[in-house]
Structure 1
């Protein structure tokens, strides 16, 4: 996905703003693209660069993707486009100084120059201060694009000199489509799309044997809880504690349990089309007959509370034992 039309579907507000700015010749001298990883910040920054350098634009703003300039940007070797990325864990002062020195020269092929700073939040204090001086003396032919997932880590003085553009997380429908286009089974994609907004992370999950096994263990635990507290505790000891060892793994296990409860709730409410466990739909239909909307709502609330306790550093093993017992209190299960 690298065309204007494709990103217009994914980030319509961002693309509309950039389109209007280009058409009215009102581009800001500095932009800060902020948002979650995988929302297209880097891709759109390169798309904007293409719009500025393209020699055969479609209309006045859509890059052709086939001219010499567009191809050089794709290959990372356009002489008037410079990209700065962290050197190790941070972006250092010397990198910004080298950029300033480069931009003190005339453009190789035109007056215009563009620079993109990836992970701008990782600039050292000295690098950030050097960039600030650069931003304070903008050239009408220079466009700066800063990318970050941690906007709160950017100096307020830098923020004040940039037009902030927020990239929204990918919608589940779009992510499902992209996952399927990249070879993920269409019955597995909906679950993955509920757990991440990031295509790369989604693809990694689709090939992760640990994740595939985790889904089976979570469903097995739910079924064991229906049979009684002893069965559930045996399932915890035999499967869960062995598989979900790290805090982030327990958190993901709770998310998977929550998705099962949500699917059962959708079936109870007559909204089966919203079920994401497509491979287990018949099994869930049977389980849904043996519970109620109120019970499911209470159980979902208990799982969300367990997630909060986990993030507050409660012992994961004790947390899961308490959760299993809480889910069975009163008439939680038939």
Structure 2
């Protein structure tokens, strides 16, 4: 995805930030639509050998290496399995304490930051609170509501709204029906993932089951508990289960069901901590006291 096509407004805002040399040392990019691409573009701006008005040229050796995720002073952290573990974050201590290999600056990008174990998040706090002058941290999360408040309070949060029209049009150009493209644009953050899901038979079946679950929650909560097995039958692996939670959040938003939205966010954290899907869904369905 080209960042100038999917997030043109944010790109212009960051161009102004760079022009005035006001780039902060710790950001949390909330929303997956172009946030990682923006972090890479800003990394190019920091390291570029031939910047033009503080903007990256995109062609020098450094810019090319960053685009390929192979630059020595760019450090990427991703979940190991379902979690970013404490050891992964503690391993960054050398990065924070030492100079860069090719210059003074260092950039750390932590993808899916909401999957940090609490101990890992705590290990990162000191580095965020007292950053080295030439260290930049970009935390990326699909939803800031899933990130620990202690992390949120120490970073500058930038929201990356979906460019729904761009998303939907791209899916339609690739053969996805308009109604399905509209839904996929709402519940996924990656065009590649949306295309893969849109070409599968289980998605429509799963969506219809989610609609039935919402209907039962409103009319017969006891039956809603029993119907959960229908959801677990269809959403039977981790990839599908993530889509399940996204569908439920989307439908609860449509219903303006705030309690269930909050419970679903909590259930996602439980699920990421390896609580069984059935238990997470039971928590969502359970009536508030």
TM-score (norm 2): 0.68
Once the two structures are TM-superposed, the CA of residue 113 in structure 1 deviates from its matched residue by 0.7
Which residue of structure 1 aligns with residue 182 of structure 2? 194
Aligned to 2:199: 207
Q: What corresponds to 1:10 in structure 2?
A: 6
Q: 1:31 to 1:190 in 2, by over 3 A?
A: same
Q: Computing the radius of gyration over CA atoms, which structure comes out larger, 1 or 2?
A: 1
Alignment partner of 2:22 out of 17, 20, 26: 26
Distance 1:307 1:66, change over 3 A: farther
**Segments ≥4 residues shifted beyond 3 Å:** 307-312, 314-317
Give me the CA root mean square deviation: 2.7
TM score, norm. by length of structure 1: 0.60
- The one-character-per-residue Cα deviations of 1:121-161 (angstroms, maximum 9, x if unpaired) are 11112211110011121122111000112322323222121
Aligned pair partner of 1:42 in 36, 43, 53: 36
Unaligned runs of 5+ in 1: 215-243, 255-302, 318-334
Preserved CA contact (<8 Å) 1:10 1:170: yes
How far has the Cα of 1:305 moved from its partner?
Answer: 7.2
Is 1:176 matched with 2:135? no
Aligned to 1:147: 140
Unaligned segments of structure 2, at least 5 residues = 229-289
Q: Looking at both structures, which has the greater relative contact order when contacts are Cα pairs under 8 Å and sequence separation is at least 6?
A: 2
Q: Which residue of 1 aligns with 2:215?
A: 306
1:250: which partner in 2?
Answer: 209
1:73 equivalent among 62, 66, 81:
66
* 1:194/1:124 CA distance change after superposition, 3 Å: same
The structural deviation recorded for 1:100 is 1.4
Asked if 1 retains the 8 angstrom alpha-carbon contact of 2:168 and 2:182, the reply is no
How big is the shift at 1:77? Answer: 1.3
1:263-291: CA deviation from partner (whole Å, max 9, x where unpaired): xxxxxxxxxxxxxxxxxxxxxxxxxxxxx
| Secondary structure of the corresponding residue to residue 91 of structure 2 | helix
What is the match of residue 83 of structure 1?
76
User: 96, 119, 132: which is aligned to 1:126?
Assistant: 119
